[in-house]
Amino acid sequence: MGKGKNILLCVSGGIAVYKAAALTSKLAQAGYEVKVIMSQSAMEFVQPLTFQALSRNDVYFDTFDEKDSSVIAHIDLADWADLVLLAPATANAIGKLANGIADNMLTTVLLAATSPVWIAPAMNVHMYDHPAVKKNIQTLSDWGYGFIEPSEGFLACGYVGKGRLEEPENIVKLVDAHFRPGQGGLLAGKKVLVTAGPTVEQLDPVRYFSNKSTGKMGYAIAEKAAEMGAEVTLVSGPTHLAPPHGISLVSVETALEMHEAVTGRFPEQDLVIKSAAVADYKPAETFEHKVKKQDGMLSVPMERTPDILKSLGEQKQHQILIGFAAETQSVDLYAKKKLEAKNLDMIVSNNITAEGAGFGTETNLVTFHFKDGSRRDLPLLSKKEVAKELLIEARRLLEGRFQ
């Protein structure tokens, strides 16, 4: 399966190093040529000999240990790789890479790499949630690094939460999909654009207007679309989520920025799914300095932001266009009105006050409404399952459009 493809596995220090050994074995069994670089901390958990035996290649850990005098090892390894995996990626390794620090063999090779680099974080849940770690992940994401989001569960430190290195067999599946894009996928060869998260409308340097969207639904859709073989662009407002691997991320803040990012890319898309919670209004005036508090009430004049979905509905030609309707009352009524008024092919409605649905949850309870008046009610599902069902329906719509 992986014959002819070279994987460079960079292993930084943490208890999850034992999973990196299993990952090496599974990649080799799948036919990939695997070479391993270890940090000094990683070698405190597992000896290099283990990785040498599993990969059947020399293991690298010292920048100044040149095993072949005809090449410079850290450059040669970087050039050799078709894909670089940093797994596990500690907070320290992520921080060094985000700040251009190359003080060991592992970080030196990472900075020299020109092939895709995927980062699989593994750390304590509170470390993963630290602002510095989030900032470093966002920086690397903006630079084009891919992330394999950690899973949730029991951690070695005793905590239960997000921070476990993704299971080796799942990482191998992602690698397989990377080298065989779209093979057998429902969306093979299709270009898909997804919007996610909130927008932020500034009032002054301190205050802004936004909403409670976390982006989880949109990110799940983008991840699943990529798994189904699509070429995915994710236009995202500010979130704390690591972007799915294998997608193109466009980070925006305001409704106007999202409008420009989406409409500029719209003509080349086959499918657009607009799940972002875009601000309908923004302050009519913004202030260079903080607005000081005063006696009495404060009124902030607001003006409309661009209606992205309506604009796309007016422009669409061959595209399938899907929107979301997050409501608190008369959900079906408002969803059907939005479906018709904005020339959508499908709309996903949900009552955000329902238990297990809405912003910030891991689950959702939705209904699909279609142009022909039909509907499909889903039970309470994880957002990833909702994404899967949505994309299956989208594929059916695409098949009808291109017949």
Q: Which residues contact 105 (CB under 8 A, 6 or more apart)?
A: 37, 39, 60, 61, 62, 63, 73, 74
8 Å CB contact between 50 and 23: no
Catalytic residue ranges: 157
Distance between CA atoms of 213 and 375, rounded to whole angstroms?
25
How do the residues of the chain divide into helix, strand and coil, expressed in percent and rounded to 5?
35, 25, 40
DSSP code of 165? Answer: P
Rg, Å, the chain Cα set:
23
Q: What is residue 10's three-state secondary structure?
A: strand
Does the CA dihedral 58-166-95-44 come out positive or negative? negative
Distance between CA atoms of 399 and 377, rounded to whole angstroms?
22
Of 259, 199, 262, which is closest to residue 233 (Cα–Cα)?
262
Of 101, 97, 77, 106, which is closest to residue 144 (Cα–Cα)?
97
Dihedrals phi, psi of 287, to nearest 5 degrees: -120, 140
Distance between CA atoms of 145 and 137, rounded to whole angstroms?
9
Of 61, 70, 85, 72, which is closest to residue 6 (Cα–Cα)?
85
Of 77, 97, 100, which is closest to residue 89 (Cα–Cα)?
97
CB-CB neighbours of 21 under 10 Å:
20
According to DSSP, the β-strands at 302-304 and 281-283 are: antiparallel
